């Protein structure tokens, strides 16, 4: 069982039997204690904020264990903490699975990456805020249990075309604040109207895989 929590913006929290991960931790709803690893996709302020990393270290990390922070080279200009540099093709070992790093293409974010997180035999894809999607991501056909995609209205057709290519079992729109929640609802309906299993999660809600 993997618990997937949407915490606002592009922040998701994954809690497995032995692993606890947070991605792009600019959260609007608080995570749970026990976080071991932080994954960051790119340097934009709605994906990485130093104060949030410090809050995780102080309140939500594992006591007595050093927090592991991973991210691409573009973070060097923004991040004033130590982190582990990763590039597409890199793999991170988990207690019960692994994380694969993929080339990605996000708006005005050269060096952005995506994460395929395999945990407790479930595969979760975090696509940052991409609407173009790399050729590497497009190879992930018929193997994704849960795919998170952004929900900017002008890119609905781009998201749909990508989902058609990889055919995930479930899709969750994310990358919105409380004020922009309707965008997530609209994309979820659009994907369902086109034959895909899409679930809307409001900020702070969760789903079990």
Burial class (CB in 10 A: 0-12, 13-18, 19+), 107: middle
What's the confidence (pLDDT) of residue 87? Answer: 96
Residue 128, phi-psi category: left (phi > 0), alpha (psi -120 to 50), beta (remainder): left
pTM of structure? 0.96
* Whole-Å CA distances, 36 to 14, 60, 70, 80, 204: 11, 9, 11, 19, 20
CA distance 115 to 132: 15
pLDDT below 70 — which residues of the chain? none
DSSP string, 47-70: T--HHHHHHIIIIIB-TTSPPEEE
What's the confidence (pLDDT) of residue 8? Answer: 98
Distance of CA 105 to the CA centre of its chain: 14
What's the confidence (pLDDT) of residue 179? Answer: 96
CA distance 44 to 70: 15
Q: Which contacts qualify for 22-26: CB closer than 8 Å, 24 or more apart?
A: 22/56, 22/60, 23/115, 23/117, 23/126, 24/48, 24/126, 24/128, 25/49, 25/52, 25/53, 25/56, 26/52
What's the confidence (pLDDT) of residue 99? Answer: 98
What's the confidence (pLDDT) of residue 162? Answer: 98
What's the confidence (pLDDT) of residue 76? Answer: 84
Span 62-89, pLDDT tens digits: 988 999 999 999 888 777 788 999 999 9
* Phi, psi (deg, nearest 5) at residue 109: -140, 75
* Phi, psi (deg, nearest 5) at residue 127: -105, 15
- Residue ranges of domains in the chain, CATH in brackets: 3-208 (3.60.15.10)
What's the confidence (pLDDT) of residue 109? Answer: 80
- For residues 64 and 34, the answer to whether their CB atoms sit within 8 Å is no
What's the confidence (pLDDT) of residue 14? Answer: 98
Q: Which contacts qualify for 99-104: CB closer than 8 Å, 24 or more apart?
A: 99/21, 99/39, 99/70, 102/134, 102/136, 102/137, 103/134, 103/135, 103/136, 103/137, 104/41, 104/128, 104/130, 104/133, 104/134, 104/137
Going by their DSSP bridges, the two strands 170-174 and 146-150 should be labelled as: parallel
């Amino acid at each position: 069982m993997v618990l997937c929590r949407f915490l606002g913006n592009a922040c998701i929290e994954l809690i497995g039997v032995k692993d606890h991960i947070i991605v792009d931790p600019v959260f609007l709803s608080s995570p749970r204690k026990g976080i071991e690893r932080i994954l960051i996709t790119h340097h934009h302020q709605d994906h990485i904020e130093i104060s949030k990393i410090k809050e995780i270290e102080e309140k939500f990390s594992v006591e007595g264990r050093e927090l592991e922070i991973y991210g691409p080279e573009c973070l060097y200009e923004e991040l004033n903490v130590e982190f582990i540099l990763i590039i597409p093709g890199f793999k991170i070992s988990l207690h019960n699975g692994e994380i694969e790093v993929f080339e990605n293409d996000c708006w005005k974010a050269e060096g952005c990456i995506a994460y395929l997180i395999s945990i407790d035999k479930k595969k979760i894809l975090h696509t940052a805020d991409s609407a173009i999607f790399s050729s590497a991501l497009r190879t992930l056909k018929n193997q994704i249990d849960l795919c998170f995609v952004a929900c900017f209205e002008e890119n609905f057709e781009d998201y749909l075309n990508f989902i058609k290519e990889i055919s995930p079992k479930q899709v969750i729109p994310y990358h919105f604040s409380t004020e922009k929640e309707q965008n997530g609802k609209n994309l979820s309906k659009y994907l369902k109207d086109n034959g895909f299993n899409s679930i809307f999660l409001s900020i702070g809600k969760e789903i079990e895989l």
